[in-house]
Amino acid sequence: MSTPHIRANKGDFAKTVLMPGDPLRAKFIAETYLENPVQVNDIRGILGYTGTYRGVPVSVMASGMGMPSMAIYSYELFTEFDVENIIRIGTAGAIADRLNLRDVVVGMGSCTNSNYAAQYKLDGVFAPIASYQLLRATDRVAERLGIELNIGNLLSEDNFYHEDPTVNDRWAKMGVLAVEMESASLYMNAARLGRNALAICTISDHIRRGEHSTVEERQSSFTQMMELALGVAVEIN
């Protein structure tokens, strides 16, 4: 049952899929954590794998960068491959003063400057939120693992380079924790299709303080969010 973007068959994906943005992060997770991982997709360099973690089937596949890419892959996984849960595991840039590099942030909601929701023709502004089932499970697993969570609003941006250098100050005033580029379209797809979605992010940069992690750290060393998401996949099985 291939799609234009995923070359796989029904049953190739587990009901829970972890989705980093970077294909190499997907490969790292599969090779580091999954038992007997099998590559199930490689179209356009978007690597996907299915294996087991503590005996539970789990898949991991990259989403690529930005809401359009996440929207395509999550929609096809939900509608064509019977995936029930997608957990985004990616990086985010902190804008809240209390956050530091390597902190783990969980997106209870996802503000956005995207026009993605316009397709639904709603008479108002739709507020994309995470699945409570996944959010609750994440809180439980984090407590067992001793991982401190920062739960709140993310900002899902269309712009990586923004024309207005003060824009993040205004979002910070509204209590938004961090900026990333995928969660809003993922949450909207899940809402529309009756599925579950959550974004778990590691702070790779502090935008307002000018602090940055390395490319290598982003790709393979942000293991807390990986282990947390895998634990959630087991918890909800």
Residue type, 7: R
Whether residue 97 lies inside any domain: the answer is yes
pLDDT of residue 36: 97
Which pLDDT belongs to residue 60?
A: 98
Work out how many domains the chain is built from and give that number: 1
Q: Say how many CA atoms lie within 13 Å of 156 toward its Cβ.
A: 34
| Beta-carbon contacts of residue 6 (< 8 Å; ≥ 6 apart) | 41, 43, 46, 48, 73, 76, 77, 80, 81
DSSP state of 221: T
With respect to residue 3, please indicate whether it lies within any of the assigned structural domains.
no
Q: Is residue 5 part of a domain?
A: no
- 205 is a catalytic site residue: yes
- Alpha carbon distance 67, 59 (integer Å): 20
Range of the domain at 180: 16-235
Task: Dump pLDDT digits (tens) for 103-142.
Answer: 999 999 999 999 999 999 999 999 999 999 999 999 999 9
Give the model's pLDDT for residue 101.
94
- Write the CATH number for 91: 3.40.50.1580
Q: Which of 12, 22, 103, 205 is catalytic?
A: 205
Q: How far apart are CA 20 and CA 23, in angstroms?
A: 7
Residue 9 dihedral angles phi and psi, to the nearest 5°: -115, 160
- Domain assignment of residue 11, yes or no: no
6 inside domain: no
pLDDT 10s digit of each residue in the chain, 237 long? 689 899 999 999 999 999 999 999 999 999 999 999 999 999 999 999 999 999 999 999 999 999 999 999 999 999 999 999 999 999 999 999 999 999 999 999 999 999 999 999 999 999 999 999 999 999 999 999 999 999 999 999 999 999 998 999 999 999 999 999 999 999 999 999 999 999 999 999 998 888 888 877 765 568 999 999 999 999 999
Classify residue 56 as exposed, middle or buried by CB count within 10 Å of its CB (0-12, 13-18, 19+). Answer: middle
In this prediction, residue 57 carries a pLDDT of: 98
4, part of any domain: no
Using DSSP's 3-state secondary structure scheme, residue 56 falls into strand
Say what the pLDDT of residue 4 is.
87
pTM: 0.96
CA–CA separation, 90 and 156 (whole Å)? 12
